[in-house]
A and B are shown apart, each in its own frame.
Chain A
Amino acid sequence: MRALSVAIVGAGLIGMDLFHRIREDDGIRVGMVIGRSPGKRLDRLAADGYRVSERGLVKELDDGAEFDVVFDATDARSHVDHWARVRGTNALMVDLTPSHVGTPVVPVVNIDQVGRSGNISMVSCAGQASIPVLHALAARLGPDYVEVNATVASSSFGPGTRRNANEFVESTRDVIRELTGVPIAKFIAGVSPARPAPDFRLSVSLAGVRRPASDAELAALVESTQDTVRAYAPGYAARVVDNDGDVVTVDVRVRAVAPTLPGYAGNLEITNGAALQVVRLYRSLSRRGAESPAR
């Protein structure tokens, strides 16, 4: 079976890491890299024989370009235009912006949405890192409040993400609520300018616990969640740091192990690792089904 052809829209930190990940995968190939403006990055890719464009996704599709998958690594506003155009095609949209337009997917929680929705949202780095733990613990503990505090190194936030600071906070918070079913969620995004850059880390709390659990049981739940996430983010580590009967707090850290990323950029690794999981599943569904899976 032929490899899926992928368009990467946005040649920033996220887009370029996706590019490297796709090259490592035999079932997926880079169909085109679409950047905002000409520059060394795109020139280098072109020199290496990749199709590049600085004309934007919409123009390329209008001119007849075809892709099986579109990775949107631009910004929340641009995503709305991109989706409006991709919607009528056969391509799967995988949204890496915090637009909250598509169906939010966190692989360990609801990857079964792949094949049902034409637009899969990867939520955000903080969503990908916190929701697996929150989902597992909320089902057991029945809390009425969850809170996530994320610290991200400023150098792992590109200009697109910086423009979307509010969308990042609001959509992460909303998807935490949506996927855990806990009525009140609070998400705090801390960007650290410290040098050396700190690792991507989160403090994840569940409060108003209705069904308390022992330390041992919580540790086992968190460990099994951690192992599942490590399938696509090997540097993922979670451990319970507090369990007082009312509040349970878990520390989450994600180190990047990809050779193309600095270790602190675990935020990029977990989101892009999850996005690749989505595409791999999509590909296996395509193979089993007809030309493309049910939309």
Chain B
Amino acid sequence: MNGAPAIGLDITLYDVTLRDGQHAVAHQLNEEQIFRYAAAADRAGVPVVEVGHGNGLGASSLQIGRALTTDRAMLETARRALTGAKLAAFLCPGLGTFGDVDLARECGVDVLRLGVHSTLVDFSESYVEKILQSGLDCHAVMLMSHMASADRLARSTALLAGYGCTAIGIMDSAGYLLPHEVGERIAAMARAAPNAAISFHAHNNLGLATANSMAAIEAGATIVDASARGFGAGAGNAQLEVVCAVAQRLGKRTGVDLNRYLTASELAAAELVESFPLIDSVSLVSGLAGVFSGFKRKVLKAADDYGVSPWDIFFELGRMQAIAGQEDLIPEAAGRVRKTAS
């Protein structure tokens, strides 16, 4: 097993509805929702379904948000629902531990994706080793990739490939990148690791999720993350059915049956959430400020508590270079904004 698309496919769509989408419902998806959506995606030929808390295994916490159900329940439920699709899980070292890798193996996870910061990939080397020893396929995705240059990402990509990751990608966690910035990053990464698959994960804060995904494909990415209705943190991810349709127009094979997938997408719309992500003022500002979209709910609360504008908090967090997992910086940023204003 490796990160490359199955034979005959140009693009592997990674369905992150049941993982990144958790951000849009404060990690409250229940087992029935997970089962029904995973089964529908599986029927449509979606090749990989990623499941879990929005920040991955071991992330359920006061700091980031407690999930409705356990990692084990989520993974086992999805495993039962999938017949053809691979089951993927996400893990950020520091949040998740080797114990979580063991859990993933026990639950039948096929692909474990490590979320690492682009300048700190050496923290993940021992995790890659552990995942490979557990017999799982190991991918790595670099978070907050707009903070790193193409060169920097290329060097980190080479390191991750050397550790044994079969696919290496970037997340535009803040939804900040423009298509040509995505293209130059992906191209540099593909040159740095010619034997690994390259992946891209978009956020739609600037309305560019689909365009950026296409730019990634043009530059050599073969794995693209997407979700039903764009269900995901902040302004949401690339919309899977749209990416699928655009790929079809471009003559790229994804293996997903669009007609059947629309059924899954309708099911997601009806059963997973009350309101789908859109580019509201807060999402737009967080994108422009280069701040992780998943902070949205806590920023809105802090804005309320401190009586300041959420937009100003996002710009302050951008100046502080806050990254996911540092939610405790949000009140501090709000406090600074209040101080400046008074």
Q: Which residues of the other chain, A, contact B322 by a CB distance below 8 angstroms?
A: 194
Interface residue from A163, A169, A192, A201 paired with B97 (Cβ < 8 Å): A169
Asked if B94 is at the interface (CB within 8 A of a chain A CB), the reply is yes
Asked if B8 is at the interface (CB within 8 A of a chain A CB), the reply is no
Within 45-73 of B, Cβ neighbours of A (below 8 Å) are at 61-64
Nearest B residue to A198, CB-CB:
B320
Within 168-221 of A, Cβ neighbours of B (below 8 Å) are at 169-170, 173, 186, 188-195, 198, 201, 203, 205, 207
Q: Which residues of the other chain, B, contact A164 by a CB distance below 8 angstroms?
A: 126
Within 78-99 of B, Cβ neighbours of A (below 8 Å) are at 93-95, 97-99
User: Nearest chain B CB to A59's CB is how many angstroms away?
Assistant: 26
A176 to B99, CA, bound (A): 17
Q: Which residues of the other chain, B, contact A191 by a CB distance below 8 angstroms?
A: 94, 117, 120, 123
Number of chain A residues whose Cβ lies closer than 8 Å to a Cβ of chain B? 32
Question: Known contacts being A159-B122, A188-B95, is A147 close to B321, with CB within 8 Å?
Answer: no
Query: Majority SS of interface residues in chain B?
Result: loop
Interface residue from B63, B124, B326 paired with A192 (Cβ < 8 Å): B326
Question: Known contacts being A186-B61, A188-B63, is A162 close to B94, with CB within 8 Å?
Answer: no
Question: Known contacts being A170-B99, A191-B117, is A203 close to B127, with CB within 8 Å?
Answer: no
Nearest A residue to B148, CB-CB:
A193
Number of chain B residues whose Cβ lies closer than 8 Å to a Cβ of chain A? 29
A147 to B63, CA, bound (A): 8
Asked whether, in the complex, the Cβ of A193 is within 8 Å of the Cβ of B119, the reply is: yes
Asked whether, in the complex, the Cβ of B119 is within 8 Å of the Cβ of A189, the reply is: no
Question: Known contacts being A149-B328, A169-B97, A247-B62, is A192 close to B323, with CB within 8 Å?
Answer: yes
Asked if B125 is at the interface (CB within 8 A of a chain A CB), the reply is yes
Asked whether, in the complex, the Cβ of B97 is within 8 Å of the Cβ of A188, the reply is: no
User: Nearest chain B CB to A94's CB is how many angstroms away?
Assistant: 24
Asked whether, in the complex, the Cβ of A147 is within 8 Å of the Cβ of B62, the reply is: yes
Asked if B325 is at the interface (CB within 8 A of a chain A CB), the reply is yes
Interface residue from A151, A159, A162 paired with B326 (Cβ < 8 Å): A151
A/B interface sample: 13 pairs, CB < 8 A: A149-B63, A162-B123, A162-B125, A163-B126, A165-B123, A166-B97, A186-B61, A188-B94, A188-B95, A191-B117, A192-B321, A192-B323, A198-B320
* Chain B interface (Cβ < 8 Å from any Cβ of A): 61-64, 93-95, 97-99, 117, 119-120, 122-127, 130, 320-323, 325-328, 331
* Chain A interface (Cβ < 8 Å from any Cβ of B): 147, 149, 151, 154, 157, 159, 162-166, 169-170, 173, 186, 188-195, 198, 201, 203, 205, 207, 241, 247, 249, 251
